[in-house]
Structure 1
Amino acid sequence: MILDYTIKMKKKHAEKIKTYSPSGFREKFLGEDNPIHLLFKSNSDHFFCLEIEEIMQMQHPVPPSKHSCHTLIFISSGQHVMKLGHQEYITTDNEMIMVPAGQIFSLENVNNIHKGFICQFHPDILIRKYGSRELLNEFDFLKISGNPKVSLPQEDIGSIVNILERLKKEYSETAFTDLNIVQSYLITLFYEMNKYAVKTAKGISAAEVITAKFKELIHDHVKSQHQVNYYSSLLSVTPNHLNKCVKTVTGKSAVKWIDENILLEAKYLLFQTTLSVGEIATRVGFEDQSYFSRFFKKAEGISPIRYRKMIDKS
């Protein structure tokens, strides 16, 4: 009876996803009818794993957004284009991409994906019975500053698909998901991915190490700290040295990185919350709303209010 109910609810959720339309998109995204929220069995597990074609039926772009869960996407056929922060990633056949929890992302089009899997899981799942924070440091793709894409050789695709199928089965065919089983399979999957992941922690220059740490610090502090000297002091380098490292590695100054991350955070709040512009200004570290509005308009070409209205009409 419980299993029948679970399957029935899955079908109901799938139908809601298929009929999800752009009309009133922001309101639906913020509400209980958000199709991703509907996929979680409960507020405590925060896990699902399904084939992409079962849920990727939305026909609209997604403005800057973020989630409290990690999201893993495996493309076995087709193409997926996503922005993580300011960087655009194209994921195609036999490639995986990880969106770390808290990373701001946006989607332009999801209609070119033909086959694959999407798996979403809360970070707490990874530090349960069999895990630790030290263990997770081995997986660069889980970090904000890490390389999120992994390209897999053809001979390993079968092993990856088997793990994802097992995760899907645990989610779809059981009334109550055993998160210890989920954790075990996820860690196994990560070690398989790690064989082919592009590492950023070893064999790189000092400038690249500083830049990676700078990116992590911006993610943690940009809502309250906008000055380069704040970050340089945390990294025990001078502001000039930090700026030189970041410019050498990324082609953009440290100030530009800070400003772009403030803008991304503001866009996320304008889209994914009902906070007023004044409240959003405070959330991203501006005491003066008018100064925040000028900052936003200079960067984006329109005011925060017009940006929100533009999303509502899209």
Structure 2
Amino acid sequence: MEKPVNADEFVDRFMVGSMEHLRHQLSPVKIFRLTEIAPYLKIPIPPIFLGYNLLVHLTEGYFEHQIGPKVYVVKAPAVLINTYGNISAIRSVDTSAKGHCVLVNDSAMTSIFREQEILNIFTVSPLLNLSTEGNSSLDKLFGLLYDELHTETPYKELSESLLKSLLLKIIKLSASNNQLNRRQEIAMMFKQLVHKNFKKEKNISFYADRLAVSINYLNRCVSSVYNKSSKELILEVLVMHSQLLLFESTRSIADICYELDFPDPSYFSRIFKKIVGISPTTYRKNAK
């Protein structure tokens, strides 16, 4: 099965030119200027399994970014948030785009932020268009984080504090800083767990046990927030990853079906078409 793509792998596979300044930063939080990235991308970038949390602040230009089945047209000034475990692709990029790009290891997210803050981050729409004032205040914070992480001896506590300030500011600008109710918390924690465990765990009882709730209560929580059952959400994540396998591998549709533990190819094709809108065969043909 496909593995998450980390930052260094992304540079090696999808960028051209001398990119040593982007490689081998050992910090769990990395930040780059878009001027260091945009001109060197091999566009279009095919779907990848995102192995980090991505935060892009665009101050000039545009790009098209696909998260799961949805394509976002990002025009400055704006922020795009893409979380660990998503299937992502980049359709187009303005090579003169300006702003910053931050990459955060998933383990760093859980060590820097409280659970409630992480859940609030996940409630933010992937695309947040900014006012002039909001753009300016975020640009200052991104600049401070860039300066700190690019000194010879970055101060870990300061860089983490700046990252936290950045994300909390984005939450405030998105109006997503309302207190979540219990059902919203359970549904969002379930979705995070699915993205991290779907390869091994497809049984709803596993997730109910991890969240210390009954299966019925879990289903009610997920349905109230996402308008779908827990099983449907798991299937949706599986289909997202099947899209990546269909694109990147030459394995048969039947092999992919069984690798993802679908009972048979006809059932897999039926679920795939229901979620994606076309059959796996047509999807592979169009993608290639």
1:135 to 112, 117, 122: 112
**Residue 117 of structure 1 pairs with residue 83 of structure 2:** no
Alignment of 1:87-98 (within 5 A): 91-98=74-81
Instruction: Please name the residue that 2:15 is paired with.
Output: 35
CA shift in 2, pair 1:194/1:214, >3 Å: same
Where in structure 1 are there 5+ consecutive unaligned residues?
1-28
Residue identity matched to 2:101:
C
Give the number of the structure whose alpha-carbon radius of gyration is greater: 1
User: What SS does the corresponding residue of 1:180 show, helix, strand or coil?
Assistant: coil
Residue identity matched to 2:165:
Y
User: What SS does the corresponding residue of 2:65 show, helix, strand or coil?
Assistant: strand
Normalised by the length of structure 1, the TM-score is: 0.64
TM-align CA RMSD:
4.3
Instruction: Please name the residue that 2:85 is paired with.
Output: 102
**Residue 192 of structure 1 pairs with residue 166 of structure 2:** yes
User: What SS does the corresponding residue of 1:259 show, helix, strand or coil?
Assistant: helix
User: What SS does the corresponding residue of 2:238 show, helix, strand or coil?
Assistant: helix
Instruction: Please name the residue that 2:65 is paired with.
Output: 82
Instruction: Please name the residue that 1:242 is paired with.
Output: 218
State the alpha-carbon separation in 2 of the partners of residues 179 and 305 from structure 1.
52
Normalised by the length of structure 2, the TM-score is: 0.69
User: What's the offset of the Cα at 1:259?
Assistant: 1.6
State the alpha-carbon separation in 2 of the partners of residues 150 and 183 from structure 1.
27
Alignment of 1:264-283 (within 5 A): 264-272=240-248, 277=253, 280-283=256-259
CA shift in 2, pair 1:240/1:62, >3 Å: farther
CA contact (8 A) 1:95 1:150 kept: yes
CA shift in 2, pair 1:100/1:159, >3 Å: same
The count of residues paired between Structure 1 and Structure 2 equals: 274
CA contact (8 A) 1:78 1:115 kept: yes
Residue identity matched to 2:38:
I
CA contact (8 A) 2:38 2:97 kept: no
State the alpha-carbon separation in 2 of the partners of residues 167 and 206 from structure 1.
34
State the alpha-carbon separation in 1 of the partners of residues 65 and 34 from structure 2.
18
Residue identity matched to 2:139:
V
State the alpha-carbon separation in 2 of the partners of residues 237 and 36 from structure 1.
49
User: What's the offset of the Cα at 1:246?
Assistant: 1.9
User: What's the offset of the Cα at 1:293?
Assistant: 4.6
CA shift in 2, pair 1:36/1:277, >3 Å: farther
User: What's the offset of the Cα at 1:194?
Assistant: 0.8
CA contact (8 A) 2:77 2:131 kept: yes
1:180 to 150, 154, 172: 154
Per-residue CA distance 1:273-310 (angstroms, 9 max, x = gap):
56664554344233655654554355445554553343
2:32 to 44, 49, 62: 49
